[in-house]
Structure 1
Amino acid sequence: MPDLPPSRADNQRGPGRPAKMAPDEQRRRILDAAAARFARHGFDGASLRDIAADAGLAHAVIRHMFGNKDDLWDAAAADLFGQMNDAILQALADVDMNNPRARMEAQVRATVRTASRIPWLAAFVMQAGLAGGERYERLVEQHLRPAYAFTLEPFFQLKEAGRAHAFDPHFLFMLSTNAAIGPFAQSANARALAGMELSDPETADRYADVLIAVLKHGALRRA
């Protein structure tokens, strides 16, 4: 089981129910707490009451905002991938989309930064894949497959342009994406073994620099 750091809801929660909390803040706390709880314990191991306790809100608030647990899981998945998609699109806003090398670098750095900020993303997807079933199929069709197709494009462009070694672009995508996301689900190891705090933005950027350098020198041909 990935050793995940506490969610933002865990960190922000005070004793008792916060007074006069805005609905947007309630929603944010619930989604953070739900994603982290589903990542640690899977769908079956996470209860709405535990999620409400993590968020510092009454159980009835979740029911009112999201309905049942299945609906909350869908909302948490959409929120996680929405944050990742927004970060990548923002990073690509100033990038020449006809330059696959620059696009690949921007995508990797945005993915690392987002995974540092929401480290339970990798474990959330892993738990869904292990459980399988209709819930995972929804995740694939609504979020994973579109993200996969979009972020895979520069790897095919690099290969077609002769700028990448004769590696399967799917493998390069898997390598870069898992390396960009996976370590943040194991941030306790980095803290215990290397004294690194991966949630620190500067540390995350230094990690992104290394990952991009490894990809450029190991997978891409020199211009």
Structure 2
Amino acid sequence: MSAPSQTSSTRERQRRQSRERILRAAVRSFARAGFEAASLSRIAADAGVKKALVQYHFTTKDALWREAATRLWTERNARLKQFVANRGPAALARNLRPAFTALVEFTREQPEWLWFMFHEAQVDGPRRHWLIEHCLRDDYVLGQDFVRQCQEQGLIRPAPSLHLLHLITGALTYNLLVAPQTLEATGTDLAGPEAIARQVDLLLEMLAP
């Protein structure tokens, strides 16, 4: 490779790396503080870059927010893809526990996706509408379909699929949101592997027909 080509390749790699750092910092900032409280200056500082570089990669704060949301949901969906794609009777029975466990483990690693959603759920505005249209609507469709198929196979008790979907996702994620305070108050670690396994077992027992 010639010297100019090497220089061009190095610069492109640096651009990708800086963009990735900015996006990761934005995910954390928007999840913790919400859109209004998060600032491009703070995001730039967390990413270790100048604010102008943030604006170079993402022209507006709204554009950066949308990219951050897309990143979170893309990563979550990639983790769950194998369980959603294969839904034959045998696969459903085999994958129900691993699917629940995968969602808990992803949330333990990246709780930002929940905080992201909670911040926007409180405000009737364009960001909530965008999140529904590009992320949450599919969650509802695919989630209810998954519940109904499990019901048809006798894996989950009869009940409205939407209600069950909320009960399932709440049971799988809420413990992690309160895990730090629970650990401090009681000494019990709800985010550990054994606690997660017990949590999934208990949920499956509660859902059984």
Given the two structures, how large is their TM-score scaled by the length of structure 2?
0.82
Determine helix, strand or coil for the equivalent of 1:104: helix
Mapping of residues 99-138 of structure 1, within 5 Å: 99-138=91-130
| Matches of 1:191 and 1:27, distance apart in 2 | 36
Q: In the alignment, is residue 29 of structure 1 matched against residue 21 of structure 2?
A: yes
Cα distance change of structure 1 residues 85 and 139 upon mapping to structure 2, 3 Å threshold: same
Which one of 156, 160, 169 corresponds to residue 177 of structure 1? 169
Which one of 123, 140, 159 corresponds to residue 151 of structure 2? 159
Q: In the alignment, is residue 220 of structure 1 matched against residue 194 of structure 2?
A: no
Determine helix, strand or coil for the equivalent of 1:153: helix
| Matches of 1:173 and 1:48, distance apart in 2 | 36
Q: Could you give the per-residue CA deviations for residues 71-127 of structure 1, whole angstroms, max 9, x where no partner exists?
A: 00000000000010000014567x654343334323212211111111121111000
Contact kept? 2:27, 2:112, Cα under 8 Å:
yes
Q: How many Å apart are 1:140 and its aligned residue? A: 0.6
Question: In the alignment, which residue of structure 1 is the partner of 2:76?
Answer: 84
Q: In the alignment, is residue 206 of structure 1 matched against residue 194 of structure 2?
A: yes
Determine helix, strand or coil for the equivalent of 1:192: helix
Which one of 32, 46, 57 corresponds to residue 49 of structure 2? 57
Q: How many Å apart are 1:187 and its aligned residue? A: 4.0
Q: Could you give the per-residue CA deviations for residues 130-159 of structure 1, whole angstroms, max 9, x where no partner exists?
A: 122111111011111112222332311122
Given the two structures, how large is their TM-score scaled by the length of structure 1?
0.77
| Matches of 1:197 and 1:27, distance apart in 2 | 34
- Which residue type is aligned with residue 189 of structure 2? M
| Matches of 1:60 and 1:133, distance apart in 2 | 27
Q: How many Å apart are 1:40 and its aligned residue? A: 1.9
How many residues in Structure 1 have an aligned counterpart in Structure 2? 196
Q: How many Å apart are 1:25 and its aligned residue? A: 2.8
More helix per residue: 2
Question: In the alignment, which residue of structure 1 is the partner of 2:66?
Answer: 74
Unmatched 5+ residue regions in structure 2? 1-11
Contact kept? 1:122, 1:182, Cα under 8 Å:
no
Contact kept? 1:128, 1:135, Cα under 8 Å:
yes
- More displaced stretch, 162-171 vs 41-50: 162-171
Q: Could you give the per-residue CA deviations for residues 183-214 of structure 1, whole angstroms, max 9, x where no partner exists?
A: 3333421442335383xxxx2x4343223212
Q: Could you give the per-residue CA deviations for residues 35-86 of structure 1, whole angstroms, max 9, x where no partner exists?
A: 2211222111111101111222211121111111000000000000001000
Determine helix, strand or coil for the equivalent of 1:22: helix
- State the structure with more CA Rg: 2
Cα distance change of structure 1 residues 149 and 40 upon mapping to structure 2, 3 Å threshold: same
Contact kept? 2:157, 2:207, Cα under 8 Å:
yes
Q: In the alignment, is residue 139 of structure 1 matched against residue 165 of structure 2?
A: no
RMSD: 2.4
